[in-house]
Structure 1
Amino acid sequence: MSVQFVAYIDEAGDEGFGKLKAEASSAQSKWLVLGGILVRSNIDKNLPEWRDDIMSKFPNKKNRDIHFRHLNHAQKVVASEYLSNKQFGICCVCSNKITLLDSSQSVKIFKQKGYLYNYLTRYLLERLTWAVRDFANRTTQSTELRIVFSRRSGTDYQSMREYLILMRDGRERIRPIRSIDWTVFSPDNIKVENHSRWAGLQLADVVTSATAAGLEPNIFGNYEPRYATAFAKRFISRQRSILDCGLTLIPQIGKSPLDAQQRDFINGLCEKWQAPGP
C-alpha cells in the first residue's frame, strides 16, 4: 500500500507589473510567493484541529477561518509559533518580480494572465515531488502526492492540468533541466477548493504569507522576518539545505537584488533550520 501525501497550495502577492516600481500603498507587490504545506495522509486529518486551536486563541474573531492578512501582528506571531512544532513540511517559491522588468521579452510573457503563477507552480511541484520521492527512496515504500490549490479567480486550472500532461508526456519544445517527478504525482491528482472550507488551505495561507512578509516591504519599506523564522525548521530540505528546495528564490539568491534586511531574513531561516533542537 502506498504512502499518501497531500500538499495544500496558496499564494501571497500578485502577478501585476503596472505599478511595480511605485512606492505608494496601492502599488502591486514586488514579490509573488507560491507555497504551502506538505503532510502525510495520516496527519492530514489533524489539520482542522490545528486551525481550530489557532483560532481559539483569538476569541474576539468572528470568522472561524484563518486569513493571515486579517490578523494583527501579535496574532500572526502566535499562529506562526503554534505551527513551529507540528509535523508537516513547507515549500515556498518566491519570484522577485522586479527582475522580470530587466527584459522586455520577460515582461511581455509574464504580463499574460496566469503565466507567472503557472511558472511558479512548475517550480513548486518539482520540489514537492522531490521531497515525496526522497521519502520513498529512504523508506523503500511506494508514494503518491495529491495537490489541493486554493481557488483564485481567473485561473484556468484545466489549462494548467493540460500543460502538466504535456510536460509529463515529454512533448515540450524545449526540455527542462529539471522536472517534476512523475513517478509520485499525476496531473489527475489535482483539486481546486475554496479557502474557507479547507483547514489545509488556511494553514498554507499562514506559511506562504508569513514567508512573503520577510521579503515584501510594507508601505513603510520595512519587513517582518519573525513570522517565518518561527517555523524555519519546517521547510523541506535537500542535501542539508532549504535553499532551492523548501525556500526557492527566482532568480537565485546570488543573482537577486536583495537588500541587507532581505538577506538577513534568508540567512536567518537557513541558520535556524540548521541549528540543533526540535
Structure 2
Amino acid sequence: MESSSKLRIVPNDIPDPYYIAFIDEAGDPGLKAVRPIDPTGATEWLCMSAVVVRAKYSGDLTGWVRSMLSTSGVQNPTDLHWRNLPDYRKRVVVNELVQHPIRGFVLASNKKNMRGYRNVRAESARSKQWFYNYCLRLLLERVTDFCYQHAKREHANRRFVKIIYSQRDTHSYAQTAAYQELLKVQAKGGALMLSKRRIMWEVLDWRLSEPVSHKSSAGAQLADVLASAFYQAADTLPPTKWNNEFAKLLKPIMAKENGSCIGYGVALQPTPPSKARLNDRQKEIFEFYGYKFWP
C-alpha cells in the first residue's frame, strides 16, 4: 500500500490549441433603453469580433502590431487602440493587418428591435449578461465551424481553438463558460432551440479560454481593430465619426463560406436584414459585403 503522504499526480490532459481566436467588442449589450429610439441609452450597435490565427503564429503577433504602429508613425508603438488613431493612421494599420495570415469575423447586432426585451429564463438563472452570451454564441458558431473545416483541409492532428477575450470589467467570463457548458449539454441531448448552426464542440475545450487585458495582448488589439472598424462603419450617431472605409479595407481577411462573407465572416443581426431598419449609410457596409435589403 502506498503511503498516504504521497501526492497524487493528475495528468495534464488539456489539449494544445491549433488555433487562437481573440475576441473583442465595440458598443455595449444594454437593452433597457436603446439609441436612437431613446435620446439617451445603450448603443444602437453591438459589434463583436474575432481574429483567428494558427497557434504557431502566437509569438509573432507583438511584432506585427509594433510594425503597424511604427509604420503609421506612432511614436510609442506598444499599444494599438483604434479610437486613439487618426484616420490616416487607421488606414496604414488596416492595410498592414490584411497582409498577415489571419481570418476575421464580425457579428454586428443592431439592437433597436431588442429594446426592452427581457429573457425571463436567463433572469431566473441569475444571468445578467444573457444578450452578450447570445451574441458570443452566434460568433463562436462561425469561428468554430471555420476552425473545424480548416483543420480538416490541413489534415491537422490538433484542431482545438483557444478563446482569448479582451477583458471587460462588466463581463463575467465564468458565466460565459457556464453558458457554453449548458449549450454543450443541450447539443448532446438534441435540445438546442437554434438549429441552423451550432458551435462545433469538436474544436472547443472550456479550459482553453481566458480573459486578458487589452494592453497586454497584441491579439486582443487586432480584434479591437475589427470590432471598432465595423462599429465605425455601422454607427451613424454621435459621438461616432461614421466612416466605412476601414471596414471595407478589411475584406481580404474576412472569412467566407461558399465564397461569400454574408452571414459568416460578416454576420448582421437581426435576420432578415430588413428587420434592422437601417438607414442608407448604415446599409452601405453590409451591401459592400453582399447583403441585399429588400423593401
CA distance in 2, matches of 1:263, 1:60: 32
Please name the residue that 1:150 is paired with.
166
Structure 2 residue 153 is the aligned partner of structure 1 residue 138:
yes
Please name the residue that 1:116 is paired with.
131
Give 5+ residue unaligned stretches, structure 1.
272-278
TM-fit CA distance, 1:230: 0.8
Contact kept, 8 Å, 1:145 with 1:185, in 2: the verdict is: yes
Structure 2 residue 36 is the aligned partner of structure 1 residue 54:
no
CA distance in 1, matches of 2:72, 2:256: 32
Of 122-131 and 248-257, more deviation after overlay is shown by 248-257
Please name the residue that 1:69 is paired with.
83
TM-fit CA distance, 1:26: 6.5
Of 172-181 and 72-81, more deviation after overlay is shown by 172-181
Classify the secondary structure of the residue corresponding to 1:197. coil
Closer/same/farther in 2, CA of residues 168 and 259 from structure 1, 3 Å limit: same
Q: Write out per-residue CA displacement over residues 13-68 of structure 1, whole angstroms, 9 at most, x where no aligned residue.
A: 01234552349996532100111200011222221111101121354544720111
TM-score normalised per structure 1:
0.86
Question: Which of 1 and 2 has higher RCO (CA within 8 Å, sep 6+)?
Answer: 1
Please name the residue that 1:165 is paired with.
181
Partner residue of 2:194 out of 148, 169, 176: 176
Q: Any residues of structure 2 matched to 1:39-50 within 5 Å, and which?
A: 39-50=53-64
Closer/same/farther in 2, CA of residues 49 and 104 from structure 1, 3 Å limit: closer
Contact kept, 8 Å, 1:76 with 1:227, in 2: the verdict is: yes
Q: Which has the larger radius of gyration?
A: 2
Give 5+ residue unaligned stretches, structure 2.
1-14
CA distance in 2, matches of 1:232, 1:52: 22
Partner residue of 2:28 out of 14, 24, 27: 14
Report how many residues are paired: 269
RMSD: 2.8
Please name the residue that 2:209 is paired with.
190
Q: Any residues of structure 2 matched to 1:207-226 within 5 Å, and which?
A: 207-219=226-238, 223-226=242-245
Classify the secondary structure of the residue corresponding to 1:255. helix
Closer/same/farther in 2, CA of residues 60 and 184 from structure 1, 3 Å limit: closer
What amino acid sits opposite 1:154 in the alignment? T
Q: Write out per-residue CA displacement over residues 211-262 of structure 1, whole angstroms, 9 at most, x where no aligned residue.
A: 1111111417863110111111111111111111111111122432122222
CA distance in 2, matches of 1:25, 1:209: 23
Closer/same/farther in 2, CA of residues 70 and 181 from structure 1, 3 Å limit: same
TM-fit CA distance, 1:2: 7.7
What amino acid sits opposite 2:138 in the alignment? Y
Closer/same/farther in 2, CA of residues 49 and 62 from structure 1, 3 Å limit: closer
Contact kept, 8 Å, 1:85 with 1:231, in 2: the verdict is: no
Contact kept, 8 Å, 2:226 with 2:247, in 1: the verdict is: yes
Closer/same/farther in 2, CA of residues 175 and 270 from structure 1, 3 Å limit: closer
Contact kept, 8 Å, 2:232 with 2:240, in 1: the verdict is: no
Partner residue of 1:204 out of 206, 223, 247: 223
